Structure 1
C-alpha cells in the first residue's frame, strides 16, 4: 500500500454536453411550453391571493 491511495478519490469529470441542433418543431414546442408555464404561474398567483375555496371551517350546530 502506497501512501497516495488512502482517502477519497476525485470523481472523473463528466464530458461537456453537446448543444443539440433544434429544428423549427422543437423551437415551437419549447415556446408553447414556456407560454403554458407563464399562464400556470399567473393562475397560481391569482389563486394564492384568496382564502380557501369552499371550506367554511368547523360547522357548529344550532343547539346549545
Structure 2
C-alpha cells in the first residue's frame, strides 16, 4: 500500500431512478400537501408582524 491509497474510498454513483407514474390518489395527496404548505406559509406571514408568541418566562433581576 502506498501513501496515496490511504483513506476512505468514494462509493460508486447510483443511477438516477426514473420518475414513477402516479395514480389519482397520489396526485390528490400531493395537491393536499401543497395546499397545507401554502396555508402554513400564510399563517407565518400573518404571525410575523404580531411579535413573539412566548413572553420569555420569568425575568431575573440583576441582583445576586
Q: Distance in 2 between matches of 1:19 and 1:50?
A: 43
Q: Give 2:42's aligned residue.
A: 42
Seen in structure 2, the aligned counterparts of structure 1 residues 11 and 58 have a Cα distance that, compared at 3 Å, is closer
Q: Can you give the 5+ residue segments of structure 1 that lack an aligned partner in the other structure? A: 60-64
User: How many pairs are equivalent?
Assistant: 56
Q: Give 2:18's aligned residue.
A: 18
What's the CA shift for 1:7? Answer: 3.2
Q: Give the CA RMSD over aligned residues.
A: 2.7
Query: What is the TM-score when the length of structure 2 is the normalising length?
Result: 0.66
Q: Distance in 2 between matches of 1:36 and 1:54?
A: 24
List structure 1 runs of 4+ shifted beyond 6 angstroms: none
Query: What is the TM-score when the length of structure 1 is the normalising length?
Result: 0.66
Q: Can you give the 5+ residue segments of structure 2 that lack an aligned partner in the other structure? A: 60-64
